[in-house]
Amino acid sequence: MKKLFAVLGDPIGHSMSPVMHNDLFSFYNIDAYYLPFKVKSENLQDAVKGLKAIGAGGFNVTVPHKSKIIPFLDEVDELAASIGAVNTVVNDDGKLIGYNTDGPGFLSGLHTSFPSIDGKRVLIIGAGGAARAIYFTLAKERPAVIDITNRTLEKAQSLIEACPYTISSAAKSIAEAGKQIEEYDLIIQTTMVGMSPRLDEKPLDLNNLRKESMVCDIIYNPLTTQFLHVANGHGARTQNGIEMFVYQGALAFEKWTGILPDIQRMRENVLKQLGGKTC
Ligand code: ATR
């Protein structure tokens, strides 16, 4: 019988995950399908119980349910528990186990053009859920420093205090981080600033950027934010949010099926979907 996989969120209509995973199921001859479900927060527990009862193989969880889902699962892995957010659930013989593939997805994507952050100086812009997943994941990779800058400085400080891993970190104001930008080897933009339709906005001044630095933006709509455009103008290497999106999906697919899927195929599929959606 066909196995059901799903994504739960609200809103969910924009999700590119169904097309991406259904393509992989058919490519690898797996008798399964993947459906989006719009679930209100007050119905989340019932939705999870329902998916368990009907024997769904697993599911993704997206905004606004990534933290709220945790009490409804049977087990949560260590990284997801420390981040306090789950985006992937595996149904292991009736036991629902939660994982977070957002941070590891970012790291795998980064590795395609930045092989190691060991000893590197890293700046994360933003202190929300995405920043938290990336920060806690990178903190385990032995960088020299991970500083956090955020519009609301106290949130950057709280994020640093919440990190369970040993890491040298300071909270910086946006102005201070901008002035010191040449100190960083890797700069990661995790806020919504510059996302369509606010195309002209930039989160930080890059005037002092070194061309040896790498700049990532987790936004993929547009594919090149103003922030990445300016970084490119300084000769820096850049990466947009496609890699993180594709790899978080690939790591989820691997947890469900044991197959690490063809990344290039996923990338092309997502770019094709975005073709009709960007800007
Ligand atoms: P996500 O889960 O996508 O990270 P989030 O948890 O709501 O979303 O976090 C949003 C992040 O974007 C925060 O760092 C937020 O800054 P504040 O903590 O100051 O709110 C940042 N952000 C959102 N809109 C912003 C804006 N217009 N300018 C600067 N930062 C912004």
List the chain domain ranges: 3-100, 104-242
Q: Ligand 1, closest atom to CA 174?
A: 29
pLDDT digit string (tens) for 214-271?
A: 999 999 999 999 999 999 999 999 999 999 999 999 999 999 999 999 999 999 999 9
- What's the pLDDT score for residue 16? 96
DSSP β-bridge partners for residue 97:
75, 90
- For residue 141, the CA-to-ligand 1 centroid distance in Å is 25
> Does residue 103 line the site of ligand 1, with CB under 6 A?
no
Domain 3-100 and domain 104-242 have a common topology: yes
- pTM of the prediction? 0.96
Whether 185 shows a pLDDT value over 80: the answer reads: yes
Looking at the structure, give the CATH architecture of the domain made up of residues 3-100. Answer: 3-Layer(aba) Sandwich (3.40)
Pick from 213, 211, 242: which is nearest to 106 by CA?
A: 242
Distance CA 265, CA 278 (A): 20
Distance CA 119, CA 102 (A): 23
**Superfamily (CATH) of domain 104-242:** NAD(P)-binding Rossmann-like Domain (3.40.50.720)
Q: Under 8 Å CB-to-CB from 73, ≥6 apart: which residues?
A: 48, 86, 89, 96, 97, 98
- Say which residue, 1 or 46, is predicted with more confidence: 46
Is residue 52 among the annotated active site residues? no
Pick from 52, 58, 200, 177: which is nearest to 126 by CA?
A: 177
Handedness of CA 9, 13, 14, 19 (dihedral sign): positive
Tokens of 48: 């999870």
CA dist 54 → 1, 5, 38, 205, 270 (Å): 12, 11, 18, 51, 29
Q: Given strand 32-38, what is the order of strands in its sheet?
A: 32-38, 3-9, 58-61, 88-92, 95-99, 75-76
Name which residue sits closest to atom 26 of ligand 1, judged by CA: 193
Tokens of 28: 């690898």
Handedness of CA 63, 69, 75, 76 (dihedral sign): positive
- Where does the pLDDT of residue 277 fall: very low under 50, low under 70, confident under 90, or very high at 90 and above? low
Average predicted confidence (pLDDT) for the chain: 96
pLDDT digit string (tens) for 53-63?
A: 999 999 999 99
Q: Ligand 1, closest atom to CA 66?
A: 2
Handedness of CA 94, 72, 133, 265 (dihedral sign): positive
- Where does the pLDDT of residue 1 fall: very low under 50, low under 70, confident under 90, or very high at 90 and above? confident
Q: Are 127 and 159 in contact (CB under 8 A)?
A: yes
